[in-house]
Amino acid sequence: MGSNHVFDTQNLFKTLPHFQENATLKLLQSSVLVSISCAFRIYLASLLIQANPSILICVAGFLVMYSVYVLDRALDSEEDLVNKTELAGSNKKFGIVISLLAFISGASILATKGMFALAFVPFVTGYLYSKGIKIGKVSLKLKGGFGVKNLVVGITWGVFIAGLAGGSNLLPAVIIFIMYGVKVFINSAIDDFKDIKGDSLAGIKTLPICLGTRGTRAALFALHMGYHAILCAAILSGVIASEPLIVACSFICGLICIVRYTNETAHTKAGLSFFKDGESTITTVLHAIV
Query: Considering the domain boundaries, does residue 25 fall inside one?
Result: yes
- Overall domain count for the chain: 1
Q: What's the whole-number average pLDDT of the chain?
A: 82
Angle at Cα 111 formed by Cα 171 and Cα 25, nearest 5°? 100
Q: Which domain holds residue 83?
A: 8-284
* 141 CB neighbour count, 10 Å cutoff: 14
pLDDT of residue 14: 45
Segment 132-171, tens digit of pLDDT: 566 556 555 566 666 788 888 899 999 999 999 987 789 9
Q: Is residue 194 part of a domain?
A: yes
How confident is the model over 216-260, as pLDDT tens digits?
A: 999 999 999 999 999 999 999 999 999 999 999 999 999 999 988
Asked which of 8-22, 160-174, 184-198 is least confident by mean pLDDT, the reply is 8-22
Give the pLDDT confidence score for residue 138 in this predicted structure.
Answer: 54
Given a cut of 80, is residue 6 above it in pLDDT? no
Distance CA 123, CA 103 (A): 8
Q: Please state, in angstroms and rounded to a whole number, the distance separating the CA atoms of residues 76 and 231.
A: 38
169 DSSP 8-state letter? -
Which of 31 and 109 is assigned the larger pLDDT?
109
Closest by CA to 107, choosing from 176, 160, 45, is 160
263: CB partners within 8 A, 6+ apart: 193, 213
Length of the chain: 290
Q: pLDDT tens digits for 87-100?
A: 555 677 888 899 99
Instruction: Report helix, strand and coil shares of the chain as percent, to nearest 5.
Output: 75, 0, 20
> Which pLDDT score is estimated for 148?
80
| pLDDT band at residue 13 using 50, 70 and 90 as cut-offs | very low
Residue 20, in any domain of the structure: yes
Give the pLDDT band of residue 25 (cuts 50, 70, 90): confident
Sign of CA pseudo-dihedral 268, 82, 20, 64: positive
CATH of the domain at 44: 1.10.600
End-to-end Cα distance, the chain: 66
Q: Which residue has the higher pLDDT, 39 or 6?
A: 39
Is position 121 within any domain?
Answer: yes
Q: Which residues pair with 140 in a beta bridge?
A: 133
> Would residue 90 count as lying in a domain?
yes
pLDDT over 60 at 109, yes or no:
yes
- Residue-level pLDDT at 82: 47
- What mean pLDDT is predicted for residues 31-47? 93
- Is 51 within a domain? yes
Residue 21 has pLDDT above 60, yes or no: yes
For the ranges 55-64, 133-142, 185-194, 243-252, the lowest mean pLDDT is seen at 133-142
Total-model pTM = 0.82
Residue 2 lies in a domain: no
Is residue 1 domain-resident?
A: no
